[in-house]
Each structure stands twice: as structure tokens, then as C-alpha cells.
Amino acid sequence: MIAGIVVGVLLLAYVLRSLPSWLSPQGVGVDHWFWKAYIETYRRDRRFPPELPQYVLDEAQWYPPFFPMLLARLPAAFFDRWSHLVAVMIDLARLLLLLGVAAWQSDGSPTVILVAGLVYATTPIQVSYNIQLNPRGLAALMLDALLMAMLYMFYTEGSWPLWSVIVVLGGLILLTHKMTTQLFWFIALGTGILYQRWQLVALIPASIIAALVMSRGFYWKVLIAHWDIVSFWDRNWRWIGADPIRESTVYGDGTYERPAKLHKSGFRGVTWHLFILFGFNPAAWVSCLLIYERVFVPSPFLIYPTYLLLWLLLPCAFALLTSFVPRLKCLGAGYLYVYNTSLVCSLLLALTYRYTRSPGFSTAFMVVALGLNVLGLVVYFREFLSNKRTRVDQALERLIAQLGRRSRGVVMCIPTNFHEVVAYKSGQPVLWGAHGYGFKRFEPIWPRLQLPLTEIIARYHVRYLLTMDGMLTPAVEAELAGATLFSEGEYRLYCLDPAPGDLPDHGVGQSPSITRHV
């Protein structure tokens, strides 16, 4: 019976996480193309860190290296064909860890295993974020494993060998993902102070030492790059997700705010944060209500350790702090931290459903969490189908292919989401960075333009501008007078410095492009 439950839950999770790729076979996700380029370049050149000159504004690739180094060990044929499923497979491994812990905490209860699996499988952020190659899932898996190892150690008064495993896992987290590093340190600090377990606080310096040793000193560069991006967003957090033109210092009027901007002003900003915080992982916030039963209605039937509840509340608190406290908004989009609550919240809901003193109440609790998860998935997939910034359709694919056949030149993309896929699929250099180190180099053009387009074109020797309907304003279009324009559907490619190879082209197998001169 348990084997059937495990297989069924894994299959459900796989289908939900694969659906975006089935709906958009040309490719999904923004970061996916960067990681493919990083891994394939390293695999080809065997130079670390790899050099990616196609990203004009990157100064150095000082990104945490464990994720790409691990994937570079996969067979090339496997990676080339199945790279879009790597994040899904890592997430399913995290689900398997959850099912194992659920069996451990419930003495193999099929009910606990089933409920925990269903909650995790339907969590919206686990579906939406894992459409692309990304190191967040691997870091989350290691953080979950670290927390469960600590839980086992607290049960058994574990020995130093287990502490060594925990320290190594901590070091690997630092070498994998920056936001997970920040959360790991926050959890270690909070748990250590509340329970007066100072060895947990010592995990912070111990993990740094472990990362330095395992990376042969490279983590020092990662740490410098970490400070670089935090400093950048400390100056620019107000513009995360901003319209680069309508909210720019050159073309904006100071009143417009893009609807999908992260930190909107006033009451709209508060409600937007609450919407995305709750919407990406409703079950996590429902699970937080368990603090009432733990604190105010003590019950011997609540068998889960309080550590689990704390390890849910601390990431949720960090998500709130980084969403609403201005000085902490530089630590990343707060709603992304609920990604790290999925295992613990699923486990808590399942254990409470099975063992609470009030079955009727706990059943409603679980049904509400599952229902809200499903509703969140419906909202996500509806947005996915309407938002073309994070996926490649046939028209964009044709225009990128056309761009790849033209003379070499720097490509600027508005929206900026297109830079990664253009760099990978066209082979052209792009006016982009934001990967390792060197954020000051492109602060004049991102997250909003602080220079006139004509000055950007001259300063960075931009030859092409790729955009789509509705992105440019009349003032910007006026600055593009004289450029050659190629169109595919709603996408537009401006050729700013035509060469003989940039004449109108109807490539083999491509639909005719509408071509005109502006």
C-alpha cells in the first residue's frame, strides 16, 4: 500500500512540474539558458570558472559553483536532452526525503505519507520555480537534509560524526545558492538562540570554513560577489521588476508602476506582497496556524517535535521581513523564501491531520490547505499561458534564429528576460550580466534605464534591439529612426548598424518576416 502511495504521489508531482514544458516545448524559464551555457562551456573548456564573454556586462563568474560542477558530471547526451527535467528530478528527490521523514515520524502511517505527499506535490511554488535549471532546489534539498539530521541528532544526542555531516552540508549550501545561505544562517541563529544551543550558532562560521576548504578558497570570491549583489539591491530594491523604460530616470514620469513590479508603493504594495507570499505556498501559511494548538492547547497527541514548527515559522518570518522591512529587501524577493517551507509544512499538516485530538477540525485544516494549493496552481497556469516573458514561442524562436544568422553584434533586449535565451540560441553577445560579479557595470541600464537609448547604443556598441509590442514608448521609438526593423508576430528586432549580412532574410524553414525601414 505504501509503495503505491509513493508511486502515485511522485507521478502526480512529475505531471504537474512537467506541464509547463509540455505547454511550451520551445523552452521555459529565464535562468535555464544561463545554466546550460555555463555547464556546457565548462564541460567543453575544462576551465574554472568558465568564461562567458557573451554576457558583456559580467565581470567574473563568481557564482556558487557546486550546482553547475555537479551537473557537468552528467553524460553530455543526457544533459542535452533532459536538462529541462533536472530541476524536476531534484524536486522529486526532495519529495522522497519528505515521504521518508513522514514515515519515520509516524511509524509508517500510510495516511501521514499520503497527506504529506499530496500537499507537497500541489504546492504552487514547487511547480512554478522548477520549470528551469536552477540551484535553489538543490540547496533546498540540502537544507532540508541538514535540518532532518539535526532533528535526528537532538533525538539521539548525536555524536561528532553527525555534526561533521551537518557542517559539510552547511558548507555545500554556501557553495550552491546565496538566498538559501542567508536563510540557513537565519535558521541556525534563531534556533540556537531560542533553544540556547550555541553549537547551532557556531554553524555559521563553521559552514564558511567548510566552504572555503571544499572550494580551495574560491568561496572567498563567492562571498565578495554575494556582497556585491546585496549592495546593488540595497541601492535598487525599489525597482525590482520595474518597467525599464516607463520607470526610468530618462523616460519615466515618476508616477507609473508596472503591475508586476515587486515592491509597489502604498497599500497596493502591501496587498501585492501578501498575495504572492500566500499564493505561492498557501499550505505554509495555513500550517503556521498550528502554533495555536502547540502553544495554547497542549495535547499529548501532537507527536511532532517543536523544532519542526520553529523551522516553519523562521523561514516564514524571514519571508515577511524581506518583503516589508526596507533595509532587508536587498536580501532577495521575500516570497521566494517560502520555497524552503514546503517540506516542513507538508509534514506538519500530515502529522496534525493524523494525530490531533479533534479529527473534524484537522480534516478541514488539511482540506483547506490542499484546496488553496490547487487554486494557486490554477492561477499560476493561467498566468503562465498569458505571460510570454518566461517562455519561448514559435514566433520568438524564428526571430532568434534569424538574429543568429546575422553579422555579430551586441544585442539589447527589452524586456530583459529575453537576454538569456538570445545569448544561448543565437550565439550573439548580449547587453546583460547579473550572474557572478560586476553589478556596478550595468547599473546604468538595469533595473531601469538611467541613460538615453542613443547613449546606451553608442557606449556599449549595441547593434540589435529585440523587443515586443507595447514595450517601447513613442520617445524611444523616435530614437530608433532609421533602424531596420524585422518582425515575427508580436516580436520586433531593430538592426541599428546594418551590415551586408543583415539584409532582409527568409531563411530555409522560416516563415516570411515582415520587414520595413523605420
Closest CA to 280 of 252, 237, 316: 316
Element (H, E) at 467: strand 462-468
> What pLDDT score does 188 carry?
97
Chain segment 337-395, per-residue pLDDT in tens: 999 999 999 999 998 888 776 666 677 888 899 999 999 999 999 999 988 888 899 99
> What pLDDT score does 518 carry?
42
Task: Examine residue 35 and state whether it is found in any structural domain, yes or no.
Answer: no
Average the pLDDT over 204-233 and give the result: 97
**pLDDT at residue 510 is higher than 90:** no
Chain segment 10-61, per-residue pLDDT in tens: 999 999 999 999 999 888 888 999 999 999 999 999 999 999 999 999 999 9
Asked whether residue 381 falls in the same domain as residue 440, the answer is no
Chain segment 460-477, per-residue pLDDT in tens: 999 999 999 999 999 999
**pLDDT at residue 479 is higher than 60:** yes
Considering the chain, what is the average pLDDT of its residues? 91
Task: Examine residue 476 and state whether it is found in any structural domain, yes or no.
Answer: yes
Relative orientation angle of helices 86-106 and 136-156, to the nearest 10 degrees:
20
Cell numbers given for 302 = 501532537
> What pLDDT score does 472 carry?
94
Distance of CA 12 to CAs 18, 92, 127, Å?
10, 10, 11
Supply the pTM of this predicted model. 0.93
Predicted confidence band at 303 (pLDDT cuts at 50, 70, 90)? low
> What pLDDT score does 176 carry?
98
Element (H, E) at 310: helix 306-324
Asked whether residue 403 falls in the same domain as residue 447, the answer is yes
> What pLDDT score does 352 carry?
86
Asked whether residue 455 falls in the same domain as residue 356, the answer is no
**pLDDT at residue 507 is higher than 50:** no
> What pLDDT score does 161 carry?
80
Cell numbers given for 63 = 557564482
Tell me the three-class secondary structure of 355-420, residue by residue.
HCCCHHHHHHHHHHHHHHHHHHHHHHHHHHHHCCCCECCHHHHHHHHHHHCCCCCEEEEECCCHHH
- Give the Cα separation of 375 and 397 in Å (integer): 32
> What pLDDT score does 516 carry?
41
> What pLDDT score does 12 carry?
97
> What pLDDT score does 113 carry?
96
> What pLDDT score does 517 carry?
41
Asked whether residue 358 falls in the same domain as residue 412, the answer is no
- Give the Cα separation of 156 and 83 in Å (integer): 40
Range of the domain at 140: 2-30+62-386
Share of the chain above pLDDT 90, in %: 78
> What pLDDT score does 272 carry?
96
Task: Examine residue 43 and state whether it is found in any structural domain, yes or no.
Answer: no
Task: Examine residue 479 and state whether it is found in any structural domain, yes or no.
Answer: yes
Asked whether residue 369 falls in the same domain as residue 443, the answer is no
Task: Examine residue 475 and state whether it is found in any structural domain, yes or no.
Answer: yes
Task: Examine residue 52 and state whether it is found in any structural domain, yes or no.
Answer: no
**pLDDT at residue 511 is higher than 60:** no
Predicted confidence band at 294 (pLDDT cuts at 50, 70, 90)? low
Per the structure, how many domains does the chain have?
2
Asked whether residue 101 falls in the same domain as residue 242, the answer is yes
Reduced to 3 DSSP states, what percent helix, strand and coil does the chain have, rounded to the nearest 5? 65, 5, 30
Average the pLDDT over 105-123 and give the result: 95
**pLDDT at residue 506 is higher than 50:** no
Average the pLDDT over 260-272 and give the result: 93
